[in-house]
Amino acid sequence: MADPSNPGRNEVTARRRNAARLPLDGWERSLLVLLVLLVAGLCLSVDGFYPGFAGFLALTENFLPFGLVALGLTTVILTGGIDLSVGATAGLSAIVMAELWSGLHVSIWLAAVVGLLAGGVLGAVNGLIITRLRTEPLIATLATSFIYASIATALAGPSPPAGFPDAFNLIGTGTLIGPIPLQLVLFSVLALLFTLLLQYSTFGRRIVMVGYSSEAARYSGLRIDRIVLSAYVISGVMSAFAGIVLAAYYSAVRPDMGDVLLLSTITIVVLGGVSIFGGEGTIAGVVIAVLLLGFLRQGMLIAGYSDMVTTMLTGAILLGAIAIKNILSGRGTGLAALLTRIRGRRPATTGSAAE
Amino acid sequence: MSYAAAETAPVAAGHYQATEVTKTFGSVSVLRGVSLTLRPGRIHTMMGENGAGKSTLFKILSGLLRPTTGELRLDGAPVAFSAPHDAHQRGIYLVPQEPALMPELTVAETMFVGQLPTRAGFPRRVDWPGLRRQAQQALSSLGLAIDVGQLARHLSIAQQQQVECAKALLRGCRIILFDEPTSPLTSHEVERLFGIMRRLRDDGCTLGFISHRMDEVLDISDDISVLRDGALVDTVDRSGFDRVRLLSQMVGREMRVIPRRTASFSTGRPMLQVEGLAHAPRFHDVGFTLHEGEVLGLAGLVGAGRTEIAETIFGIRTPDAGHVRLGGDEITGLAPHAIIRRGLVYVPEDRARHGAILPMTITENITSGLLDRLRQRFGLIDRNDEDRTGAAIVTQYRVRCAGIDQPLRQLSGGNQQKVVFGKWMGLQPRVAILDEPTRGVDVGAKDEIYELIEELAKAGLAILVISSEMEELVRLCDRVLSIYEGRIVAEIEGADITPARVGQSYLSRDGLAA
């Protein structure tokens, strides 16, 4: 069956792995260019945005908790699911930690570990509801977000604990090796770990397979339920971690402290190029999106714009970015498919097939 | 066709003529110059194997698809449709195999969707009593007693088809095409449908019909056209009906001796033993033994339960009763991952949904079944080892591609299938179940797939092949089991495996006795 007219075959072994699976490899690069332009623009035009290197880096402390949640949420979205309980999980985990510390006089460090475990348990509850009860992730995590938030409010009481030990507060505000915020170090290490986990490990490969097609993954002998469950556990732990970092940053907890996390992190993940239908996306894209939206927000606030304006701008950027992505790729979040449908479905014609 | 030219003169109402109609999807040619005429007062049946182009032809005739080339003429005048609605206005209606009536509307409403009768005045109001009356009339004119006030979701498939017939009449359509309506129906329901079809025919309507089932085709048809590989083989009227001849025309190349492998599987050890396997209501009491190096075929009509049997053996479905043993070990009720580990793999029929992940790369698809066997460091995949594995399979199975990182979706159907084969054979299984292994594979690549299957069997793999193509079964199989409505009705061995014999064996519950 040798076919000399086909030169491709002999080169097969020589070909290096390329970005064929990620047709939007350029997406991360475009985001990066945008980030550099944005930061440069803000440095030049907004007084106080660059008060020196240390001050500039310290800005990240305001938004890195979003990044922590985004890492976990990316795992879930890659499987084709969604976790709407990230905010409630962050709030409840932080409250659990704070109550253990103030009420039961447990060491704050041990309490923090229990808080992380609590996040894992809350994530496992989400995962079990989704896999065992065959519930839509959207509905399941919406419901648990209400439940988690109510439990947090009940646990917190009228005056939630505050004034944690200084050593603990350093997680949110401390620096390492000179001016580098501890938060930034933690986020960088975790981002690297998630990159390895999701893009280079067998676990990550399975996550992506489930995200592209859980049916095909099942016929390939993957244990879908296990994989999906672990994604929600990871999301729960990362949310709890974000809640604990926020607690350390403010040296206080509130049951609703996680509420701001949800919509912003979904924005980050989608802007980072992760397909809401699962399978497609990179941690690099998400990390760049964290920095892009974070610096934008901080810059606008420093320049004196109200929160309303920055939020509006965030919405506009999200819409614009996704529209561009869909127009360029012809697929992705499904908007493009909708557009072609609106334009009128044409039956396939001879020879025009691009594939 | 030669007689096409003679009919350009005006003809009586209800003549629907296709001339040299072709249809291609991308580079695949589905219809190749088909010319035929449907006439009023006659039932004209299309016969042919799966993929012969029957449904595509009906979709073109009913405005769902546009022909790539060729012409349609209605009573001598050329017509072109951009949507089924256009065809309805010209009096042409397609009754689908499984009509999609809107489940939450009443029967009367579904019959008038898009053209509700209104009363004069402002605002225009729907004439509900008139709608019910007209709907009921249309149904009774066909001798049907379906309550038009009930919700459509309460109707059986047979009743939905009947409602579709009435819908066609309400829209004034006199040319009615039935796309394989009988395959989901029971024999009693088929009789009812045929009653309606005869009534319409005697009323002067022009009817088109698709079916595989020889008995019912000979019973109901006035004309029969046989299609094969997208081309019209022959059109005959009642005087020319001949069961054997039609069968050989459908299968084709009957005179050619199909090369058959000659294996001595009988010496092989039993690898897969199935006993009394059942999964109501899809199949009952299925039992067989598959030997090392044997290729065993499962023949049957679409919907006979063959895929369900395979999926139950593979652990996707849980059986109600029965046992499956793999090399002597009980595997009944295990999950797919456990069954795969014990050496049984399944290549599903629907490659895009079950068999492969088309947006992922060739290598990623190949290694998706053997991630645990790749070299790893701290759970991280050794990409060099993965690339070597992928490249080895690509070379061994002669996959034509630009590189191992090409997304699978960019390959042709045949090469995609080779990748899926390679993915599973990389595991060195003992038993492989291949469900329609050449579905969506172009003719040239089919032979390559056949050669692959033969090589694997020679190397000792026990193979169960599900196929709706008789030629495929004849070429590949040492033994063929015929399935009819979820039961094994015949077993054909060795030289008895001929297209005619296999083709006839699964058409009734009596197997070869028919």
pLDDT 10s digits, A293-309: 999 999 999 999 988 88
Neighbour count for residue A48 (Cβ, 10 Å): 10
B131 and B185 together in one domain: no
Average pLDDT, rounded, for chain A: 85
Residue B380 has pLDDT above 60, yes or no: yes
pLDDT tier at B254, thresholds 50, 70, 90: very low
B27 and B72 together in one domain: yes
pLDDT tier at A1, thresholds 50, 70, 90: very low
Residue of B nearest to A355 (CA): B410
Residue B39 has pLDDT above 70, yes or no: yes
Which comes out higher in pLDDT, residue A289 or B509?
A289
The minimal CB distance from A21 to the residues B346, B353, B361 is found for B361
CA distance A167 to chain B (A): 33
Looking at B399, B429, B459, the residue that finishes a domain is B429
Question: What tokens does B309 get?
Answer: 């049997």
Distance between CA B278 and CA B321 in Å, rounded?
A: 5
Q: Which residues of B touch A332 (CB under 8 A)?
A: none
pLDDT of residue B413: 81
Inspect the interface and report whether the beta carbons of A348 and B25 lie closer than 8 Å: yes
Which comes out higher in pLDDT, residue A123 or A313?
A123
CB-hemisphere CA count at 13 Å for B443?
A: 10
Residues 6 or more apart whose Cβ sits within 8 Å of residue A101: A107, A108, A111, A161, A164
Tokens 């672990």 label which residue? A230
CA distance B98 to chain A (A): 22
Inspect the interface and report whether the beta carbons of B360 and A223 lie closer than 8 Å: no
Compute CA B440 distance to the chain's CA centroid, rounded to the nearest angstrom.
11
Q: Which residues of B touch A11 (CB under 8 A)?
A: 403
Domain range holding B209? 2-101+156-251
Q: Which residues of A touch B59 (CB under 8 A)?
A: none
Determine contact, residues A199/A191, Cβ cutoff 8 Å: no
pLDDT tier at B466, thresholds 50, 70, 90: very high
pLDDT of residue A241: 97
Distance between first and last Cα of chain A: 24
B207 and B332 together in one domain: no
Q: CA-CA distances (angstroms) from residue B193 to B44, B95, B136, B390, B508?
A: 15, 12, 18, 53, 19
B85 and B172 together in one domain: yes
CATH assignment of the domain containing B215: 3.40.50.300
Distance between CA B270 and CA B463 in Å, rounded?
A: 12
How are beta strands B92-95 and B175-178 bridged, if at all? Answer: parallel
pLDDT 10s digits, A251-282: 999 999 988 899 899 999 999 999 888 898 99
pLDDT tier at A329, thresholds 50, 70, 90: low
Residue B175 lies in a domain: yes
Query: Which region among A248-262, B247-261, B494-508 has the lowest average model confidence (pLDDT)?
Result: B247-261
The minimal CB distance from B395 to the residues A12, A203, A219 is found for A12
Neighbour count for residue B66 (Cβ, 10 Å): 16
pLDDT of residue B243: 80
Inspect the interface and report whether the beta carbons of A219 and B360 lie closer than 8 Å: no
Inspect the interface and report whether the beta carbons of B391 and A223 lie closer than 8 Å: no
Residue B258 lies in a domain: no
Mutate to test the interface with A, among B69, B393, B405 (most CBs of A within 10 A): B405
B176 and B230 together in one domain: yes
Q: Average pLDDT, stretch A12-40? A: 66
Residue of B nearest to A13 (CA): B391
DSSP label at residue B511: G
Q: CA-CA distances (angstroms) from residue A231 to A125, A252, B323?
A: 12, 29, 35
Mutate to test the interface with B, among A6, A219, A227 (most CBs of B within 10 A): A219
pLDDT of residue A8: 40
Question: What tokens does B346 get?
Answer: 């399944």
pLDDT 10s digits, B159-205: 889 999 999 988 889 999 999 888 777 777 888 899 999 999 999 99
Q: Which residues of B touch A349 (CB under 8 A)?
A: 68
Residue B440 lies in a domain: no
pLDDT of residue B9: 36
Residue B192 lies in a domain: yes
pLDDT tier at A224, thresholds 50, 70, 90: very high
Residue A23 has pLDDT above 90, yes or no: no
Residues 6 or more apart whose Cβ sits within 8 Å of residue A176: A182, A185
pLDDT of residue B7: 39
pLDDT tier at A7, thresholds 50, 70, 90: very low
pLDDT of residue A16: 38
pLDDT tier at A25, thresholds 50, 70, 90: low
Question: What tokens does B37 get?
Answer: 């005429």
pLDDT tier at B300, thresholds 50, 70, 90: confident
Sketch out chain A's domains with CATH numbers.
22-324 (1.10.3470)
B164 and B228 together in one domain: yes
Closest CA to A123 of A198, A229, A225: A229
Residues 6 or more apart whose Cβ sits within 8 Å of residue B321: B276, B277, B278
Element (H, E) at B502: helix B499-505
Inspect the interface and report whether the beta carbons of B371 and A205 lie closer than 8 Å: yes
pLDDT tier at B27, thresholds 50, 70, 90: low
Distance between CA B97 and CA B107 in Å, rounded?
A: 18
What beta strand segments (E) does B248-310 contain?
270-279, 283-291, 295-300
B278 and B247 together in one domain: no
Inspect the interface and report whether the beta carbons of A200 and B407 lie closer than 8 Å: no
Inspect the interface and report whether the beta carbons of B379 and A202 lie closer than 8 Å: yes
Inspect the interface and report whether the beta carbons of A20 and B405 lie closer than 8 Å: yes
B73 and B205 together in one domain: yes
CA distance B90 to chain A (A): 21
Determine contact, residues B179/B58, Cβ cutoff 8 Å: yes
Q: Which residues of B touch A80 (CB under 8 A)?
A: none
CA distance A288 to chain B (A): 24
B89 and B164 together in one domain: yes
CA distance A345 to chain B (A): 11
Distance between CA B274 and CA B45 in Å, rounded?
A: 39
Distance between CA B348 and CA B434 in Å, rounded?
A: 7
CB pairs under 8 A between A and B: 125
pLDDT 10s digits, B42-60: 999 998 876 688 888 999 9
Inspect the interface and report whether the beta carbons of B368 and A205 lie closer than 8 Å: yes
Residue B265 lies in a domain: no
Inspect the interface and report whether the beta carbons of A217 and B357 lie closer than 8 Å: yes
Q: Which residues of A touch B383 (CB under 8 A)?
A: 17, 200
Tokens 């080339």 label which residue? B69
The minimal CB distance from B402 to the residues A8, A220, A353 is found for A8
Inspect the interface and report whether the beta carbons of B380 and A196 lie closer than 8 Å: yes
Distance between CA B510 and CA B514 in Å, rounded?
A: 6
Neighbour count for residue A136 (Cβ, 10 Å): 11
Q: Which residues of A touch B359 (CB under 8 A)?
A: 21, 212, 279-280
| Angle, CA A217 vertex, CA A216 and CA A222 arms, to 5° | 150
pLDDT of residue A20: 39
Residue of A nearest to B413 (CA): A355
Residue of A nearest to B408 (CA): A21
pLDDT tier at A15, thresholds 50, 70, 90: very low
CB-hemisphere CA count at 13 Å for B96?
A: 7
Determine contact, residues B403/A11, Cβ cutoff 8 Å: yes
B170 and B242 together in one domain: yes
Which of left, alpha, beta for B273 (phi over 0: left; psi -120 to 50: alpha)?
beta
How many domains does chain B fold into?
Answer: 4
Residue B44 lies in a domain: yes
Average pLDDT, rounded, for chain B: 86
DSSP A188-223: HHHHHHHHIIIIIBHHHHHHHHHHH-HHHHHHTT--
Q: Average pLDDT, stretch A152-173? A: 93
Closest CA to B87 of B116, B101, B108, B67: B67
Residue B360, helix vs strand vs coil = coil
Residue B45 lies in a domain: yes
Residue B257 has pLDDT above 70, yes or no: no
Residue B429 has pLDDT above 80, yes or no: yes
How are beta strands B28-38 and B376-377 bridged, if at all? Answer: unpaired
* Bridge partners (DSSP) listed for residue B45: B209, B224
Q: CA-CA distances (angstroms) from residue B462 to B271, B280, B289, B291?
A: 7, 27, 10, 6
Distance between CA A136 and CA B338 in Å, rounded?
A: 27
pLDDT tier at A101, thresholds 50, 70, 90: very high
pLDDT tier at B216, thresholds 50, 70, 90: confident
How are beta strands A180-181 and A175-176 bridged, if at all? Answer: antiparallel
pLDDT of residue B249: 82
Inspect the interface and report whether the beta carbons of B381 and A11 lie closer than 8 Å: no
Q: CA-CA distances (angstroms) from residue B207 to A231, B35, B59, B73, B445?
A: 56, 16, 14, 16, 37
CA distance B503 to chain A (A): 30
Inspect the interface and report whether the beta carbons of B403 and A13 lie closer than 8 Å: no
B10 and B57 together in one domain: yes
Element (H, E) at B249: helix B243-251
pLDDT 10s digits, A181-213: 999 999 999 999 999 999 999 999 999 999 999
Residues 6 or more apart whose Cβ sits within 8 Å of residue B60: B18, B21, B23, B31, B66, B67, B72
* Bridge partners (DSSP) listed for residue B181: none
Distance between CA B357 and CA A205 in Å, rounded?
A: 12
Residue of B nearest to A197 (CA): B380
Would you list which residues of chain A are within 8 Å, Cβ to Cβ, of chain B? 1, 3, 6, 8-9, 11-13, 15-18, 20-21, 196, 200-203, 205-206, 208-209, 212-213, 215-223, 279-280, 347-351, 353, 355
Residue B461 lies in a domain: no
Tokens 């970005």 label which residue? A19
Determine contact, residues B466/B298, Cβ cutoff 8 Å: yes
Determine contact, residues A181/A58, Cβ cutoff 8 Å: yes
CA distance B330 to chain A (A): 18
Q: Which residues of B touch A4 (CB under 8 A)?
A: none
CA distance B219 to chain A (A): 36
pLDDT of residue B252: 66
B185 and B92 together in one domain: yes
pLDDT 10s digits, B311-348: 999 999 999 999 999 998 999 989 999 999 999 999 99
The minimal CB distance from A213 to the residues B65, B357, B361 is found for B357
